[in-house]
Amino acid sequence: MTQNADSAAARSLAFPGNDGKPHRVTWDDKSLKIDGERLTVWSGEFHYWRLPSPDQWRDVLQKLKASGFNAVSLYFFWGYHSSKPGSYDFSGIRDIDRLLTMAEEEGLYVIARPGPYINAEASMGGLPAYMTTHGGEERTADPQNLAADLEWLKVVNRIIGKHQITDGGGSVIAYQVENEQIDNAPKHVEYIEKLQAVVEEHGIDVPLFHNDWGDGHGYNVPGGPGGSRLDLYAFDTYPLGFDCKGARGKLSDFESRIRGYSPKTPVFIAEGQGGAFTSWGRDFQSGECAKFVDEAFTRQFAVNNLANGVTMFNSYMEYGGTNWGWTGDPGSGFTSYDYGAPISEDRRITPKLAVHKEFGYLQNAVKPIASAQNVTPPTITSTGGGPVKAQQRLSTENAEDTSVSGNGMRLITLRHPDSNDTSTSQVTFPLDLADPPKAATSASAGGNESGEDKNSAYRRIPQQKNTAISIAGRDAKTLVADYAFGPHRLVYSTSQVLTQLDAGGDLLALDGTKGETGETVLRFASKPKVTTLDGAPVDVTWDADRKDLRLNYTHGDARTLRIAGGGKELTVLITDRDAVATTWQLDAGRSDILVLGPELARTARLSGAQLDLTGDTRKPGPLRVFAPKNVDVLTWNGRRIDASRDDTGALVATLPGPQKPTMPGIDSWRTADSDPEHAAGFDDSGWKKADRTTADNPKHGPGEASGVVLDTDEYGFHEGDTWYRGHYTPAEASTTVKVSAKTGTAGHALVWLNGRYLGAQGDGTTTHKVPDGVAEPGKPAVLAVLVRNMGHYEDWSSDGRSKTGRGLADVAVPGSGKVRWRIQGAAGGPEPADTVRGICNNGGLYGERKGGHLPGAPDSSWRTTQSLKSERPGVRWFRTETELRLPEGSDTAVGLRIADNSARADKYRVQIFVNGWNTGQYVNNVGPQQEFVIPSGFLKERGKNTIALAITAEQTGVGPDSVELVDRGTVLGGVSGGQNESPGYRELLGAERSRGQ
Ligand code: IPT
């Protein structure tokens, strides 16, 4: 995309995860430590398979890093890498070695979560589909299951193991064994223990943990059942639930319970709600989930977690992505896995990301938070709304260095105890610090207002009359008090500390809600000089008794102050929560810098007097940078820009914005009927016989009526559509055909007898009527059934649901006599010729087998049409080429929108292929997704793109009203990358064609 790409790619931030040296990872009850130094782990969950554009992995990682995340949590999806036993693919879109290297380069620690079982709304919860044929229980030490699991771990641990921080290989700092085992039944305990032992044998020596599926079980604690080799205890928590149109769940305290389970480990949330998934047929999409799990909740949650001592947190999801192809599970996921997450499916930054930034920056800037312990909170006085709950933590570690009074840094958190209370309360409270001595304060404390405590150092804060701290509805606040940074002393602030850094001078940034007042008190040896460098002035009060400088202001327009006294100088930036979205703290190597203005500042590098920045803009606008004083050359995305210094000493410049792309229209399609399998005379002699009479997995049959095993997985067809043809000669006229299909949620099956369409059905059993004369006694008959597999179920409850099976369970045709079945699925079965797109890309539609989804497929004999409506039930393909001209040096999110006015009445579904890549599935009669994000790796940004639609209609005259490409937004910037290299028709099927087949 942009020319700056290579420099970004070459960049390696200096941090312990990539300096090539071995590091020690230890922990205590307070936090994790790297080489003895405390680390609050602030991590975002990212699923590489949901962004099948490896170049853009860097985009997401840079967005995380710039937003204050210091870690990324990665599930590894076994089934995505393994299409058949013993075979593993880690190339191209599956190159996890490259992913781990990128995380190192971008300065992110990694929490590795390779399963074997991961859940994750992934097909079969991450297990490879061939495991459905196993007889024993999944997620137990059943020998066949365990052997497969251990093989996967061995293979994936070889890659993860190379990237461990402990031997200098990389930035992996923790490792999750399995995922949310349902209970501590002996068979589950035995299993988890076996996995741990083998993981150790594979040389994984970073802390091991398992994620308990809530905060109320205490399963798999270190040293307990199922935890004998685990180091950390972690749990998952989704306080709001997943019904994005329902009522929000409530926040509660958990610290003492968690410490009861595991007293010697940090409070660690392995998955904390960052959004919610969306399911087939719901009346909401991810947009609703972004509103449900909104900014207010995200802040409340972060504040509540700080109050409960959480020093390891991972947000699930931070970037959700796309269930492209057949990667999703049917129960909980349609194509979009946007999740309402802070970074949207099309990689846009949403306002929620700025909330995570507030807390990422805060914890990074105020290090004592990592060692703070729960203490009695101040007594709150609240007026005007519901009660307010205060919690307080105190860090006594290095108190002498880190606090004003020598007693230690305090973190005071405020929220309504009922986290769904929408009233606005005004809060004041006395703040008791050991210094200054109480006696010295009595003269200067505020008047006789309520909420005073004359025995406290500060009888009432805020001290400013007629002001208070607002808790507006579902808001929550975090106040830092008694905190020293460098030579500076922060007595307290009712604003939130956004960050403090040395960016060519010490800088403290404070944020708050626009329109709300803030009060900040700093301690000086003697009265300092305060200069307002820009913005509105603040009220400055000098308290000579306490030697306190008090600043009072209202958050809104940004202000910059310079405070100088006693040989030290501090720049104070008073900003607001809205502006946090466009404020970026970056590690520039020699120094940190602070960038204000752009949509995104990704990277910064200082060399001599030159500062190179990369980032994105959504529109032209101002850039302001706090950087070392010697910087006089500024570049943005590789181009020099004119910059000057403003009154505050910051570099200022103007950044250009993007060009708006024009999306090409689609005016016609080439179309062909594409289901010859339904016809009586179709030659299926080359198909596999489905004639097995036993299956290890009893859920796979044999069918009671058919007497044979029909499950697709038993014949090596694991994804998408599968055709069946059953031949028989009826003794009497067939009047009904009873079909039991296993499609998964929202799937379907279409049934033909002797070429006559009998009807369609969903998952389960349906009896189809046979019209007179369709199958006559003594005459050979053929049943044709097309079954769509919506993915394999998860196994969340460890009850074997994932082994339900797919395709046909059974078919009963009274009077049919023996039916001889043949089955046809994806070309190559578990060995697809297209190893680039891989097993998840295709099912067994005729058009897929013939390469109709691929660029360059011969469609010249196909008819040209404008209509996408069906002419009869069955499968029809539509192809078109469209020329994109996306602006260079930009990142445009392109979507494909399907319009239909039938109010979900018309029964049809569309499989969408873009340049051969299976982009997603539209199901008109189920919904709700209408617009599909096209992963940028699928697209040719400048040039011809092939769009192919496979429309399976259950009725005549149904189909989309229109299909169009839509511009979902453009930024100038982005990281480099383009289309994934992938074979077209000629490469994959050209040879076959020339052999005349
Ligand atoms: C938790 C799973 O661990 C995770 O893989 C994912 O499925 C997530 O849920 C939901 O998106 S399970 C939790 C809801 C108890």
What are the residue boundaries of the structural domains of the chain, listed by start? 8-349, 582-616+620-656, 676-824, 845-989
Q: Is 221 left (phi over 0), alpha (psi -120 to 50) or beta?
A: beta
pLDDT at 997: 34
Q: How far is CA 750 from CA 331, 405, 498, 775, 874, in A?
A: 21, 76, 58, 18, 8
- What is the rounded CA–CA span in Å between residue 960 and residue 957? 10
Q: At residue 446, does pLDDT exceed 50?
A: no
- Which of 123, 237, 271, when mutated, tests ligand 1's pocket best, judged by the most ligand atoms within 8 Å of its CB? 271
Residue 434: what residue type?
Answer: A
- Side by side, which strands form the sheet with 633-636? 600-607, 610-616, 633-636, 639-641
- 272 CA from centroid of ligand 1 (Å): 10
What confidence tier does 995 reach under pLDDT thresholds 50, 70, 90? very low
Alpha carbon distance 908, 921 (integer Å): 11
Q: Measuring from atom 6 of ligand 1, which residue has the nearest CA?
A: 120
Q: Give CATH superfamily name and number for 582-616+620-656.
A: Beta-galactosidase, domain 3 (2.60.390.10)
Confidence band of 992 (pLDDT split at 50, 70, 90): low
Q: What is the pLDDT of residues 869-880, one digit of tens each?
A: 999 999 999 999
Give the 3-state secondary structure of 99-150. Answer: HHHHHHHCCCEEEEECCCCCCCCEHHHHCCHHHHHCCCCCCCCCHHHHHHHH
Residue nearest to atom 10 of ligand 1 (CA): 120
Note the pLDDT tens digit of each residue in 409-441. 999 999 999 999 999 999 999 999 877 655 444
Q: Average the pLDDT over 380-408 and give the result.
A: 95
Is the domain spanning 845-989 CATH 2.60.120.260? The answer is yes
65 CA to middle of ligand 1, Å? 24
Question: Distance, CA 316 to ligand 1 centroid (Å)?
Answer: 8
Give the span between the Cα atoms of 736 and 516, in whole angstroms.
72
* pLDDT for 734 beyond 90: no
Answer yes or no: pTM beyond 0.85.
yes
Atom of ligand 1 nearest to the CA of 796: 12
CATH 4.10.490.10 assigned to 8-349? no
CA nearest 262: which of 236, 237, 227, 295?
227
What is the rounded distance in angstroms from the CA atom of residue 976 to the CA atom of residue 290?
28
Angle at 290 between CA 286 and CA 296, to 5 degrees: 165
- 676-824 maps to CATH 1.50.10.20: no
For atom 9 of ligand 1, the residue with the nearest CA is 120
- pLDDT category of residue 746 using cuts at 50, 70 and 90: very high
| Mean of all residue pLDDT scores within the chain | 95
- Closest atom of ligand 1 relative to the 75 alpha carbon: 5
Q: What average pLDDT does the segment 232-261 reach?
A: 98
How do residues 478-511 score in pLDDT, each as one tens digit? Answer: 999 999 999 999 999 999 999 999 999 999 999 9
Cα–Cα distance, 689 to 682 (Å, whole number): 15
How many whole angstroms from 120 Cα to the centroid of ligand 1?
Answer: 6
Q: pLDDT at residue 107 above 90?
A: yes
pLDDT at position 385 over 50? yes
What residues contact residue 359 under an 8 Å CB cut-off, 6+ apart?
A: 42, 68, 299, 302, 306, 478
CA distance 765 to 763: 7
Q: Which token pair is 358? A: 């507030």
The per-residue pLDDT for range 332-350, each reduced to its tens digit, is: 889 999 999 999 999 999 9
Residue ranges lining ligand 1, Cβ < 6 Å: 118-121, 179-180, 213, 236, 238, 271, 277
Confidence of residue 317 (pLDDT cuts 50, 70, 90): very high
Distance (angstroms) between ligand 1 centre and the Cα of 719 equals: 23
pLDDT of residue 451: 66
pLDDT for residue 443 is more than 80: no
Mutation probe of ligand 1 site: the residue of 118, 139, 180 with most atoms within 8 A of C-beta: 180
Q: What pLDDT digit, counting tens, does each position of 170-198 carry? A: 999 999 999 999 999 999 999 999 999 99
145-163 per-position pLDDT tens digit: 999 999 999 999 999 999 9
User: pLDDT tens digits, residue range 628-671?
Assistant: 999 999 999 999 999 999 989 999 999 999 999 999 999 999 99
Answer whether 582-616+620-656 and 845-989 agree in fold. Answer: no
Angle, CA of 527, 508 and 405, to the nearest 5°: 60
442 has a pLDDT exceeding 80 = no
Q: How many CB atoms lie within 10 A of CB 981?
A: 8
Q: Judge whether residue 469 has pLDDT over 50.
A: yes
**What pLDDT does residue 6 have?**
40
Q: Over 80: is that where the pLDDT of 803 sits?
A: yes
- Ligand 1 centroid vs 347 CA: distance in angstroms? 22
